[in-house]
A = this chain, B = another copy of it.
Amino acid sequence: MPTRRSTATMKDVALKARVSLATVSRAFAAPGSVSETLTQRIVAAARDLNYTLNVNARSLRSQSSGLVVVLIPDIGNPFFSVLLQGIEEQARALGLAILIGDTHGDRELAATYARLLDTRRADGMILLNGTVPNRAHDGARLSPQRYPVVAISERIPGADIAMVGINNRAAGFEAVAHLAGLGHRRIAHIMGPADNILTHERAQGYREGVLAHGCDLWPEALQPGAFSIRAGRAAMAKLLDGPAPPTAVFAANDEIAIGAIIEAKARGLHVPRDLSVVGFDDIEYAESYDPALTTINQPRREMGRRAMAMLGELITDPDHRQADVNLEYQLVVRASTAPPRVASRKPVSRT
């Protein structure tokens, strides 16, 4: 007995429960405002008729859809997908549905998705990519005064948008401090892409760490790169080809770190005996890699949850000014870091 697609409307429910249509609406929207008896009759009638609220109609009438747009540069990337998971959990708790948009790092595509705010009357948006879509030809349409927007991880320059993330500079500093504490003096840094905000924050932390601990800071110590294994390998190769290779590397994320380790291994080096590597993010596979990665853990799921919670408040009260939230990061020491074979002031003897 295939149940038919519920075509019953509030009118039907009202008829069956012998109340007015308005009362049915109220019974569902504001449970307290309808008397006990009527509520029971209405609920029973709705059940019998297999009634389902038509959200489209509600959205049209109320001018808000219960939809939240989430803009992600790359869903396939575990870093983002776990963030999304946190967002999803909180959204569900708030009764909001998630409209997903993979921007592939393309601003034009991001703009397309951002338009859902208008066309679908989405209630808000979460940005995971550090850029405001469509700034160029669409001006201030995304200012939080118009639309509730929250950014994750990356501070968006020039936009008054609340953010939840961690202190990347401090984390970078701590990564270097860990290495320096192990005795390393020649520590390189493989950076993320140049147009990324996080890249600069982490690099800044690196610089401060190197300075504070009296480590070397030579011209090639800061290697440009990208958030990928391939880029990590390439940068590590350059570092190793240099006249005085580092004994340790701080990578701007775990994929870079893995790339660096692959390259080191390919050259017969042992990690961490010959080279220590610190990553960033603590993605799933960091723990299972060989060697297990020493890295900075970001509470990704929690970041997603908090961002969604903030957005929720912003939606219910658009005038509420949200302060940025910096969550706790954590240096997780595993097997990819160790004291240098020989302190680097004196020449390193290699077999």
Interface residues of A (CB under 8 A from B): 1-6, 52-57, 59-60, 65, 74-78, 81-82, 84-85, 88-89, 92, 97-102, 112, 115-116, 118-121, 138-141, 143, 145-147, 229, 258-259, 262, 265, 284-285, 288-290
Contacts and interface: CB of A to CB of B under 8 A. Distances in A.
Given A60-B60, A85-B76, A262-B288, A115 B145 contact: no
A202 B38 CA distance: 56
Given A3-B141, A53-B119, A77-B81, 8 more contacts: A5-B147, A75-B82, A76-B81, A76-B85, A85-B102, A97-B99, A262-B290, A290-B290
Contact of A2 (B84, B89, B139, B259): B139
Contacts of A118: 5-6, 52
| Copies of this chain, whole number | 2
A59 B119 CA distance: 11
Contacts of A84: 75-76, 100
A32 to B, nearest CB: 22
B102 A100 contact: no
A268 to B, nearest CB: 14
18 contacts: A2-B141, A3-B138, A3-B140, A4-B146, A52-B119, A53-B119, A54-B60, A55-B121, A56-B56, A56-B121, A75-B88, A76-B84, A78-B81, A98-B100, A99-B99, A265-B290, A289-B289, A290-B290
Contacts of A99: 97-100
Nearest to A78: B78
A81 B85 CA distance: 11
Contact of A143 (B2, B54, B259): B2
Nearest to A5: B146
B53 A56 contact: no
A143 B78 CA distance: 33
Given A85-B102, A139-B2, A229-B288, A97 B120 contact: yes
With most chain B CB atoms within 10 A of its CB, the pick from A1, A120, A289 is: A120
Contacts of A290: 262, 265, 289-290
Given A1-B139, A78-B76, A81-B81, A288 B258 contact: yes
A52 to B, nearest CB: 4
Contacts of A141: 2-3
Contact of A54 (B75, B121, B284): B121
Nearest to A64: B56
A282 to B, nearest CB: 13
For the complex of A and B, the 10 pairs showing the least CB-CB separation, nearest first, are A52-B118, A56-B59, A81-B81, A2-B140, A76-B82, A56-B60, A76-B85, A55-B119, A285-B285, A290-B290
A2 B56 contact: no
With most chain B CB atoms within 10 A of its CB, the pick from A140, A141, A146, A288 is: A288
Contacts of A258: 285, 288
A262 B285 CA distance: 12
Nearest to A79: B76
Contacts of A98: 99-100
